[in-house]
Amino acid sequence: MSEPSKPTGPADDPPGGPGDTSPEFGPSGYLPARAAQRARKIVLRAPLGAQWIIGAVVAGLVVVVAGVWFLLTSDDPPPDPWVAAGEVADVGDAAHDPDLDALLVGAGGRIRAFADAADVTYCEASNQLEAPDGRVWSLTGRGLGGTASLEEHPTLVQDGVLYVDPTRTQPGPSPSDEPADPAC
């Protein structure tokens, strides 16, 4: 008895045959499945060569040198144009710095350096900045009662020392029309 003939077509073609549409790259494209599994293991176990060892050592040295350089220079004072204005403990609530022509205000949590504030003083009774002519500011430099706000120099504290950049000023906050009377 003869066996019935099987239909032939693209579904019956062996892999890699004329009807195969799978890509012909990668281990399974040119190796049998069992050999492809073994080939992956061989590739992963192959020696990488001296260039990989040298590259890893060089990359490690670059990271170590950068880390050491950062640690050695992180305590340096800021570069010019920053000027040391003194110890933070010496500022207190407010102090005038004649070298910078600025009012240093430490009340209110952050040390601020206000530009062109020679006649302005800190009033402890009202916790505000006041001028002898009756102008009043908040501790942030905001002008109260229609007074123009004070301009501020950037400040930086490092290792307990206050640094001020006298070459730049930042505009103060917008003034408030809220009435304020001097208390000192």
Upper half-sphere CA count for residue 159 (Cβ side, 13 Å): 6
Residue scoring higher pLDDT (17 or 102): 102
Instruction: Look up residue 15 and give its two tokens.
Output: 């892999």
Cβ atoms of residues 151 and 115 within 8 Å: yes
Q: Comparing 8-17, 148-157, 161-170, 171-180, which segment has the lowest mean pLDDT?
A: 8-17
**CA distances to 6, 94, 108 from 139, in Å:** 95, 10, 6
The CA R_g of the chain, rounded to the nearest whole Å, is 38
Question: What pLDDT is stored for residue 28 in this prediction?
Answer: 47
**Per-residue pLDDT for 20 more than 60?**
no
Question: What pLDDT is stored for residue 110 in this prediction?
Answer: 81
Percent of the chain scoring above 90 in pLDDT: 9
Give residue limits of the domains in the chain: 25-73, 83-164
Alpha carbons 37 and 42: distance in angstroms, whole number? 9
Strand bridging mode 161-164 / 128-130: unpaired
Question: What pLDDT is stored for residue 166 in this prediction?
Answer: 86
Please tell me the total number of residues recorded for the chain in this structure: 184
Report, as an integer, the average pLDDT of 39-57.
Answer: 75
Question: What pLDDT is stored for residue 169 in this prediction?
Answer: 86
What CATH number does domain 83-164 carry, 2.102.10.10, 3.30.70.580, 2.60.40.1930, 1.10.760.10? Answer: 2.102.10.10
- In this structure, what are the phi and psi dihedrals at residue 153, rounded to the nearest 5 degrees? -85, 145
Question: What pLDDT is stored for residue 159 in this prediction?
Answer: 82
Q: What is the rounded average pLDDT for all residues in the chain?
A: 78
Give per-residue pLDDT as tens, 74-125: 777 888 888 888 888 777 777 777 777 888 888 767 888 888 877 888 888 8
Residue scoring higher pLDDT (124 or 42): 124
Question: What pLDDT is stored for residue 65 in this prediction?
Answer: 97
